[in-house]
Copies of this chain bind each other. A is one copy, B any other.
């Protein structure tokens, strides 16, 4: 089955089967896909909190309009943006590039100046909005990889971000919640996945120039 066919079969599951768990290997594959997602300048200015602990998830559910996916999926992926993208962050990123590629840091001088210039030219609010958008790319890649593996991934925006930050202790970690996804396997009696998928026709969605 092609990835497009698998995407056709995916759905925003509302009712997960709490007894079906993703394997350690599947979780690792999902994490690899997120890790490989592209991001602006390669900065990956976010982290992903993978929540499996039942007590934490019960609290998150209360902060997520009591949506059952939060507790009943196998895992809840919480994408969280870094709140401080300062010069130190930019320099550490260049360290990572130099280490990964075993190149002299001085050879990255031009790239470093470009990164630092970009970071210093934006306000904190602009940088946060920018990071939030990068998490959505990673979310799109997660959804694709989950479809590829036959795992259900349901992205969700309906939650109180401030409460999520509080419950997960994100503020102290310099993070704030962007978007979440419930990941696991649909219950056999999930209603939404049996409905016909609604999508705008290509003639409406695409313009060819």
Contacts and interface: CB of A to CB of B under 8 A. Distances in A.
Secondary structure type dominating chain A contacts:
helix
Given A136-B134, A136-B136, A196 B143 contact: no
A53 B207 CA distance: 12
Given A134-B136, A202-B31, A36 B8 contact: yes
A135 B197 CA distance: 19
Nearest to A155: B38
A112 to B, nearest CB: 13
B47 A205 contact: yes
B44 A205 contact: yes
A96 interface: yes
Contact of A143 (B56, B137, B179): B137
A132 interface: yes
A161 interface: no
A37 B33 CA distance: 16
Query: Of residues A35, A50, A168, which shows the largest number of chain B Cβ atoms within 10 Å of its Cβ?
Result: A35
A10 B50 CA distance: 25
B198 A34 contact: no
A206 B32 contact: no
A12 interface: yes
A123 B179 CA distance: 20
A170 to B, nearest CB: 9
Contact of A101 (B36, B101, B139, B198): B198
Nearest to A149: B3
Contacts of A173: 207
